[in-house]
Every structure is written in C-alpha cells, then in structure tokens.
Structure 1
Amino acid sequence: MALSKRDASGRGSALDDPTYRSGVVELLSLLAYGEISAVEQLALDGGMAPDLRSRVEVAALAAAEFDHFQQLRDRLVEMGVDPYESMKPFEAIFQRYHAKTKPSDYYESLLKAYVGDGLASDFYREVAAFLETSTRDLVVATLSGTAHSQFVVDTVRAGIEQDPKIAGRLALWSRRLMGEALSQAQTVVAERDALSAVLVGGVDVPGMDLAAIGRMFARITEAHTKRMERLGLAA
C-alpha cells in the first residue's frame, strides 16, 4: 500500500487512496462493533450487580462505550459508509469471544469489562500509530479510559480483601480473557486484508513487519500485566 497522496504532515488526502480508505473503514467498523458489543454485554452483566450503586456504575460504563460508538458511527456516515453494513463482518468475531468468556459472577463480569476494554485499547492504539491524523485522533479519543475504571479496580480489590480466596480464580479468569482477546485480535489481523495493509504500510509509509507485529503483541501483554497489578492479581 502506498499513500502517495499523503502530504509531509500526514494529513493531506490519504483517504483518497482506496486501499488505505478500505483499511480505515474496516478499523472504524471493527471499533464501532466492539463498542456496541460492550454496551450489550454490560447491560446483560449489570444484572449481576449486588446493589443500586453498583448497577449505576455499570450503567455509566455502558454509557461511555455508547458515546464512543456514536462517534465512530458518525465518522463512517461522513465517509459515505453504511455503518451497520460495514460492522456486519465483525459480528462473528465478537460472538465467539463472548461465547467463550461468559462471566459466572459480578467480579468476573467487571474484570471482563476492565480487561477486555484495556486490551482492545492497547491493540487499537498500536494500530492508530499508522493512521493519518484525523483518523488517528478519532481512534485515540474513543479509546480514552473512563473515570469509571477506578470503580472496577476498587471493587475488585475490596472483594479480594474481603475474600482472599477469589484472587486465584480471578487471576485465572484474567488469563483466559487475555488469551481469548489476543486470539481474536490476531485473527482480525490475519483475515482482514485492508486492515492488515494499514499495519504493513507501503513504499512511502512506515509499517510493521512480522517481527514488529510480534513486539506489538508483547507490549500489549506487558500492559495487561500492569493492569492486573492494579487489581492486585497475578497476570
């Protein structure tokens, strides 16, 4: 992929390149489906919350995800794309992930939201480094952590303090979430040619070779370890 129409600042008319534009559409569609999928999952898992305060906090998490979805959907519309059609190819990916990671209690549901969102943010932020400015800014904005993530940390840590035995179970659960999320991310990179082209780059656009992609997933793993430390869990 060669973005010969991009100017030196990275702005220009990069989206005029059909291959690059297709990759951007795929990325935004993938992000958008991920956000609305998270909203649906939080709505389901919110029923596990033990009290009204907790239900409100989970609803706030879902509201933040929905706001991100709207921004991505609107950008796709601006690009002349039907967002609902462009999101369809990613439905199976998220269905597989959720089918394999059904939480059994409130703590697992919170951990899934926290870990899943963190891993996704790390992955898409890595991809954003290879985007032109306007798309990169949108992607980074929709990956911004919400103030409610501290609620998850505080709740999980308090639960472990009250019942230390759950720490081992939640650590295992986080590893399962990590494995499934990385597997789905690798599947996306392998299966979506246009999205892969954004990562690989072209003759005048820096990209990533296989070794660099491997290092990217290593960085994502390292960031996951730090998140687990915040929760008081072993990665």
Structure 2
Amino acid sequence: MTASRDADGPVEPAPETGALADPAYREAVVDLLAAITYGEISAFDRLAEDSLLAPTLEDKLAVARMAAVELGHVDLLQARIAELGADPHAALAPFRAAVDRFHEHTAPADWWESLVKAYVGDGLAADFYREIAAYLDPRTRDVVIASLADTGHSDFVVDRVQAAIAEDHRLGGRLALWGRRLMGEALTQAQRVAAERDALTALLAGGVDRPALDLAAIGRMFARITELHAERMAKLGLDS
C-alpha cells in the first residue's frame, strides 16, 4: 500500500483493493495490530521490571536485551496501523485494560516465575497471533510475523530453568502449576478481548477474498496452541 500527502495535510492512505477494500476488515486488522502492539509495549515494561529480580549482572543484561527487542517491534506495527488510515496511539486504547488485567493476575512471585512467564506466556500469545495471521492480507501478515520473531531469549530461559529444577525438584512442581495458570489466564484474556471487540470476531468469519474460520477450524487452532504450550513446558522440564 502507498500513501499520499496533501501539501499541508496529513498522510492519507491510498485506495485498497481486495480484502482491504472492506471497511470491516480494515477495522479488524487495525484492532489486531493494536492488540499485538500494546502486548509488545506491556512485555517491554514487564521485562524491564523483571530485570530487577535477576540474581546476576549477566541475567540482568539478558533480560534487558529481551525487553529492547520487544520495544523494537512497536514501530513496525504502528507504521502498518498508520498505513491503514488509523491513529496508531488511539487504536491501542481499547486493549489496555484487558492486557493490564492479564499482567496483574499473573504477576510473578520471583525470578523463576518471571522467566517462565517470559517464555511460556509470550509464546502463547505469539502462537495465537501466528494462527490468525494466516487469515490476513499478505502485507499485514508479513508485518505480524515479523513482529513475532523470536527475541533470542528461548535458550537463555530454558538453560536457567532447567538448571534450577535440577538443583531443587520442588521448584519444578511450583513452576508447572504456574505454567498451567498462565495458560488459563491467557485463554480467558483472549476470549474477553474477542467478546468485547466485534471487529476481531468478524475477522475470523471471513469475507471477500478471505477464508472463514469455522468452529471445527477454531477447535483445531486451539488444539495446536495447546500442543505447542505442552512442548514449551516439556522443554523447560515441566509438566503441562
């Protein structure tokens, strides 16, 4: 998509074709991008706080780098929102309460819970958005996939958690319960946001040049997300 600018006016989106010519679809895409964007901003805030719990300087720097990568995705997402003719800041407002509520309900009690949340919680969100990306126009799909690129913290988290569990098996039981709680809270948040934002629900219903996601497909999607969650937990050495 290209944009034009009047001599004294703001950037105006160029006419769209295909799915993007549908105002309902464009609204849904803006909502989706905004939800991902605010999630990235919240992840940055949370990781910055988590770095204060780090037991070593090496760990603190590793988490700080993770936070920086999350923030780095924001410009890409907001640029696409602007391309679609929406205000990148105003678009985020409807998602603040739900995302903030999730983080309030899943505040880690210690360093180990913060690591599991960074790995498992963020992984759940990324899996969900990758699934939805399959139903987007190519340009938006590319932006979403790029914003979900691994921040490079997977190996760091797995290494730290596995070593800690090897030293204290009781920790493994507590973190397994924590991982299950994260899964439940994430699903609750996703359902709440979908219920509150009709545009997102409509996105899955399909339309011109877009396939629909029926109940059976939705069931398979969540089954895949659950399987990936179980794989992450197993990689950490935890039961799902």
TM-score, normalized by length of structure 1? 0.92
Distance 1:88 1:204 in 2: 29
Aligned length: 225
After TM superposition, give the deviation of residue 161 of structure 1 in Å.
Answer: 1.1
Flag as ranges the 4+ runs of structure 1 deviating above 6 A: none
User: Partner residue of 2:161?
Assistant: 156
State whether residues 26 and 84 of structure 2, in contact with CA within 8 Å, keep that contact through their aligned partners in structure 1: no
- The answer on 1:222 being equivalent to 2:227 is yes
Distance 1:129 1:213 in 2: 13
After TM superposition, give the deviation of residue 12 of structure 1 in Å.
Answer: 4.6
After TM superposition, give the deviation of residue 46 of structure 1 in Å.
Answer: 1.1
What letter matches 2:202 in structure 1? A
After TM superposition, give the deviation of residue 204 of structure 1 in Å.
Answer: 4.9
Q: Deviations over 1:100-139 (max 9, x none)?
A: 1010100100111111110001100110000010000110
43, 51, 58: which one aligns with 1:46: 51
- The answer on 1:99 being equivalent to 2:122 is no
Residue correspondence of structure 1 range 185-224 to structure 2 within 5 A? 185-202=190-207, 204-224=209-229
Superposed CA RMSD in Å reads 1.4
User: Partner residue of 2:118?
Assistant: 113
115, 136, 141: which one aligns with 1:136: 141
Distance 2:153 2:208 in 1: 42
Percent of pairs with identical residues:
58
User: Partner residue of 2:78?
Assistant: 73
Larger relative contact order (C-alpha < 8 A, sep ≥ 6)?
1
After TM superposition, give the deviation of residue 16 of structure 1 in Å.
Answer: 2.0
Distance 2:225 2:191 in 1: 12
